[in-house]
Amino acid sequence: MGLFFQKRSYEKSAKPIIVIRTLMAISMGILLVMGIINGLDFFFLRLIFILAGVGSFMDGVESYFQRENKRVYLVDFGFAILWFIFSFQLSD
């Protein structure tokens, strides 16, 4: 049970980070809708992957500054790299 759901003792995110995450989630939703309307255009999907990579990178930096376990922020940075790789794979 502790593998996926670990009890983390961390501070709350700062308000600017919460606002940035909310704006990124809204923009990712808008880009998804625009991509569907334009006939599943991969340009919009690429932008969604880039925003997801930036979000994962922000999570990693925040985990690092909150002095989380090393594994936590390395996983976040790893996911950021994967999102960026996916976005560059979609570039024609």
**Whole-number pLDDT of residue 3:** 56
At residue 4 the predicted structure's pLDDT band, cuts being 50, 70 and 90, is low
**Whole-number pLDDT of residue 26:** 94
d(CA 51, CA 57): 10
Tens digits of residue pLDDT in 41-87: 788 888 899 999 999 898 888 888 877 777 887 888 888 999 899 88
What's this model's pTM, rounded to 2 decimal places? 0.78
The residue written with tokens 């930036």 in the block is 54
d(CA 14, CA 81): 24
Tens digits of residue pLDDT in 19-37: 888 999 999 999 999 988 8
